[in-house]
Structure 1
Amino acid sequence: MKIFSKKQIYNADKFTLKDQNIESIELMERASLALFNWLHSRLEGKPLKLNLFCGIGNNGGDGLALARHLWEHGYAFQVYIVNYSENRSEDFLSNLKKLKERKIWPEYMNEATALPEIGAEEIIIDAIFGIGLNRNPDVWVARIIKYINDNKAYTLSVDVPSGLFLDRKFEDVESVVKAHTVLSFQFPKLIFFLPDTSKFCGTWEILDIGLSTKFITDTEVDFTLIDKADLIEKYRFRDKFSHKGDFGHSLLIGGSYGKIGAMVLAAKACIGSGSGLVTAYVPQCGYLPLQTAVPEVMVITDKGENDLQNIDFKLVPSVIGIGMGMGTSDKTGEALTQLIKNSNSPMVIDADGLNLIAKNMSLLEQIPSKTVLTPHPGELKRLIGDWEDDFDKIEKTKRLSKSSDCIIVIKGAYTMIVYLEKSYINSTGNPGMATAGSGDVLSGIITSLIAQQYEPLFASILGVYLHGRAGDIAASHLGMEALTASSIIASLGTAFLDLFSKPNTQNETT
């Protein structure tokens, strides 16, 4: 699913008006009907009072048009116009006129207005600011927003929570509506998925308002929400006469004394997600644990007893996954340096592999093209430095991707895969996956998919999706608190099968 920028959303509106030969007020009417139908299908005429806080732009116009539909169906409501400017959009004025023609009188709010009394059993609809917000709300408007947030009523935001910018971080947490649900027109917004801003979005749903299909199809975007349908299109079905050699030989390199478990998890995930052959290269202390825990995996040992000191192997792997539990000793760092200098195999670099590279950034100039890096936020910071906000983080990650021609998997609640100018946001996973070893499992999965001849970028996208989906499946049986990396591995098979099940609903996605 494409994620449009603010400029692209405006262009989509303009193109639609011309392409469909309609006026902007008709597009607003579609939006308000979509909002009403969503509400009506859930409320079914229940005698709840709805409180609509409307700005004086087009977002407020959506709210006014919604109020008219509520009135026509007998709902109890009150409209509050947050009168933060004398400049009003034409469509706002048109819908205000329609309300007055029906003897519906909004209450106007300014800096001297007392705040209304709203009960916990009522509903607040936030239509104060839309995507066009380009400055911080006035202090008195922020006071209204704080009142909305402090109220126990259910809060629904129209298109975006008021106070959020689409392309930069807010400056004052008190000036942003914290919505329980956001009803977003046509597209999800990038801010729904970033750590700094997603906490204001609760759940979100998309309302189709009939924007031009041609424009949506033809427009290139920088951000895409991973869609199951797109994954299925590139899924590689297995031929009846296939053999294990057809599905690649993965070489996993890592482990150190006390951290061999990381390699066990990566190896189990790698073989469990389809790699034809898997070899684990570990220090000597890892030989018995690997042979015992994962009998399907072959084991090569380094000359080092407790850590890797001289990575040396004769096989020609389809892909190398390195770094899991590896440690950061000087000898291990030198071994990694020599491997990167001398190997042409595709690579997935995780954990201590990334920490060692952070100590010697020149290694990024020597990694194979389209190497996959899988940092958590702390590891990413060591690679790109501090960032001011999530937007700055993404831009710095893009620069690193372009300068090193690498794919960067930024792990998090909404894991993001960045390659050059394009970013792909994952929708699967849950907080229970924030557990030891989960990252090792992900590295094993991505390594396995590259071994099976998936292109590294798609292997990263598919791997992150399957990893998260397996976590969701495991959590549905175990609960989040009991979720472990091993239970993610145990659910991988079901995650693969789920690719071809009925598509997720939006509620499952969010």
Structure 2
Amino acid sequence: MKIFSKEQIYEGDKLTVERQKVSSTDLMERAGAQLFNWMHVRLQGAQVPIHIFCGIGNNGGDGLVLARHLILDGYNVKTYVVNCSDKRSKDFLINYDRIKNVTKEWPTLLSCKEDFPEINAQDIIVDAIFGIGLNRPVDTWVKDLFVHFRKSKAFTLSIDVPSGLDTDKVPQDEDAVVWASYTLSFVTPKLVFFLPETVKYTVQWEVLDIGLDVNFLSETATEVELIGKHEVLPVYKPRDKFSHKGQFGHSLIIGGSYGKIGAVTLAGRGALAAGAGLVSVYVPKCGYMPLQSSFPEAMVITDADEEKITNISFEMKPTVIGFGVGVGTDAKTIKAFEDFLKKNKTPLVIDADGINILTKKKTLLKLLPEQTILTPHPKELERLVGKWTDDFDKLEKVKAISKKHNLIIVIKGANTITVSQDKLYVNSTGNPGLATAGSGDVLTGVITGLISQGYNPLDASVFGVYLHGKSADIAVEDFGYQSLIASHVIDYLGEAYKDLFKQPEQPQVAEEPVDEKKK
């Protein structure tokens, strides 16, 4: 799913008005009607008090349309205008007049803290105050209103984005933002719904289709995409009946040190479960017996050193190499990695201590093959790109290093983001159960195994992150968040593949009751 910027949404609105020959007021009516439909399906006429707070711009106009529809359908609605400016948008004023025609109780004007209504925890708040158009600091009394919402503990529904939340900035003051229970976002989710520092401002979100021009939606390229099943299905490479292991490549995992051979085992098993035809592992001598006994499918190559990798030398010709899991940062290991990079032309996936080595000696970045994949966790990423001021600054720093060295960087997190040049791919799968030792090693193996089968590095990264998260989502149903371990993610990768082709269950429709009197 494309994630449009606010500038693109404005352009889409404008083109829709021109191409469909409708007015901006008609477009607002569509939006308000969709909001009403969403609420009506869930409330079914329930008489819970609904407090709709409208700004004086187009977001407020959407709120007024919603209020009018709810009033006409008999809901218990209180409407308020948050009078934060002397300027009113044209469409707001039109809908302000329209709501006066359906109720004797005109919207209440709020201008200061003393005007705030009483809101109970069982009520519903609809936040239609600012939307994506806010371009100035929130007034103190409006900030107090947002705090009033939170203190009420009422269910809070925001329209488009929680008011006070910029689509491209992290708020400096968390009290100057509405904390929404749910956000109904027009056309597209917003990037801020997925970033660690801003995800807290909406617990859940959903996209509403308001009928923007289809050509605009299909032809406009975006810098950000949300990755789900429909986005990865076209990437999937099915297998022919007469396939054999030689067609799916040879993955080599290089890593491990004394006490950390398990990381290599997990990565190697991840590569094999992702579909690699062959998997070899290159480890210190201490890893030979553990791997031969716990991972019989792998071929094992050992370094001359008993406890660490000191020289990377092999006769085989791997399709792809995953480097770094459990490898350590001993001086001899760093030297071995540098010597290896100087002669290597094979595609690379680098994780964990492999990234730490790169940060200790950043000149090595110049030796990486184009489209090398790095999979850092937050602390490793900080060592790589430096400290950032906020999540948007972090993304800019990652894009810069991606462009400079032609790298693909997988920023691991609740919504893992794959960065390639200026493009961001936000993953939709995964859960807190992945916050466990070894899950990153498995991801390294999965991505390595996909490249082994012929996926290009970007597709392998995006698809691998999706599969890894989906496997965890399926496994957590059996194990729960606390008891999910990295091996479970490997064990359920097959289920994640099968899920790609599962059709959603159709809801059962109850039969109409027979009226015995009419028989």
TM-score normalised over the length of structure 1: 0.98
* Corresponding position of 1:508: none
Letter in 1 for 2:193: F
* Corresponding position of 2:329: 328
Letter in 2 for 1:397: V
CA offset at residue 111 of structure 1? 2.2
* Corresponding position of 2:33: 33
Distance 2:505 2:270 in 1: 24
* Corresponding position of 1:10: 10
**Residues 217-272 of structure 1: per-residue CA shift (max 9 Å, x gap):** 11011000013223111211111111111000000000111111111111111111
Distance 1:134 1:254 in 2: 50
Distance 2:77 2:144 in 1: 22
**Residues 315-352 of structure 1: per-residue CA shift (max 9 Å, x gap):** 11000000001111111111111111111000000000
Letter in 1 for 2:490: I
* Corresponding position of 2:243: 242
Map of 1:72-471 to 2, 5 A cutoff? 72-102=72-102, 103-471=104-472
Letter in 2 for 1:257: Y
CA offset at residue 475 of structure 1? 0.6
Letter in 2 for 1:8: Q
Distance 1:414 1:186 in 2: 20
* Alpha-carbon contact 1:136-1:171 (below 8 Å) kept: no
Letter in 2 for 1:86: D
CA offset at residue 173 of structure 1? 0.6
Distance 1:319 1:479 in 2: 34
Distance 2:189 2:372 in 1: 29
- Residue 113 of structure 1 aligns to a residue whose secondary structure is helix
Return 5+ residue gaps in structure 1 as ranges.
506-510
Letter in 1 for 2:239: R
**Residues 89-128 of structure 1: per-residue CA shift (max 9 Å, x gap):** 0111111111112223111111253321111111111111
CA offset at residue 362 of structure 1? 1.0
* Corresponding position of 2:67: 67
Letter in 2 for 1:28: M
Distance 1:436 1:135 in 2: 44
Return 5+ residue gaps in structure 2 as ranges.
507-519
* Alpha-carbon contact 1:57-1:92 (below 8 Å) kept: yes
Letter in 1 for 2:55: G
- Residue 241 of structure 1 aligns to a residue whose secondary structure is coil
CA offset at residue 504 of structure 1? 9.8
Letter in 1 for 2:166: F
Letter in 1 for 2:106: W
Distance 2:44 2:152 in 1: 24
Distance 2:136 2:478 in 1: 46
- Residue 80 of structure 1 aligns to a residue whose secondary structure is strand
CA offset at residue 503 of structure 1? 5.5
- Residue 199 of structure 1 aligns to a residue whose secondary structure is helix
Letter in 2 for 1:426: N
Distance 2:250 2:18 in 1: 54
**Residues 420-445 of structure 1: per-residue CA shift (max 9 Å, x gap):** 11110000000111111000000000
Distance 1:503 1:32 in 2: 29
* Alpha-carbon contact 1:319-1:346 (below 8 Å) kept: yes
* Alpha-carbon contact 1:228-1:503 (below 8 Å) kept: no
**Residues 49-98 of structure 1: per-residue CA shift (max 9 Å, x gap):** 10111111100110011000000100001111110001000111111111
Distance 2:501 2:64 in 1: 42
- Residue 349 of structure 1 aligns to a residue whose secondary structure is strand
CA offset at residue 149 of structure 1? 1.6
Letter in 2 for 1:331: K
Distance 2:163 2:96 in 1: 20
Aligned length: 505
- Residue 127 of structure 2 aligns to a residue whose secondary structure is strand
Distance 2:504 2:307 in 1: 47
- Residue 479 of structure 1 aligns to a residue whose secondary structure is helix
Letter in 1 for 2:335: E
Between stretches 102-111 and 447-456, larger displacement belongs to 102-111
Distance 1:262 1:503 in 2: 36
Distance 1:385 1:230 in 2: 32
Confirm or deny that 1:56 pairs with 2:56: yes
* Corresponding position of 2:21: 21
Residues 410/240 of structure 1: CA separation in 2 closer, same or farther (3 Å cut): same
**Residues 482-510 of structure 1: per-residue CA shift (max 9 Å, x gap):** 111011111100000001112699xxxxx
- Residue 202 of structure 1 aligns to a residue whose secondary structure is strand
* Alpha-carbon contact 1:61-1:92 (below 8 Å) kept: yes
**Residues 172-209 of structure 1: per-residue CA shift (max 9 Å, x gap):** 01111111110000111111111111111111101000
* Alpha-carbon contact 2:285-2:305 (below 8 Å) kept: yes
- Residue 118 of structure 2 aligns to a residue whose secondary structure is coil
Distance 1:284 1:52 in 2: 68
Distance 1:14 1:296 in 2: 59
Residues 54/257 of structure 1: CA separation in 2 closer, same or farther (3 Å cut): same
Letter in 2 for 1:411: K
Distance 1:334 1:504 in 2: 55
Letter in 2 for 1:65: V
* Alpha-carbon contact 1:136-1:170 (below 8 Å) kept: no
Distance 1:234 1:134 in 2: 40
TM-score normalised over the length of structure 2: 0.96
* Alpha-carbon contact 1:416-1:424 (below 8 Å) kept: yes
**Residues 342-373 of structure 1: per-residue CA shift (max 9 Å, x gap):** 11000000000000000111111110010000
- Residue 424 of structure 2 aligns to a residue whose secondary structure is strand
Quote the sequence identity (%). 54
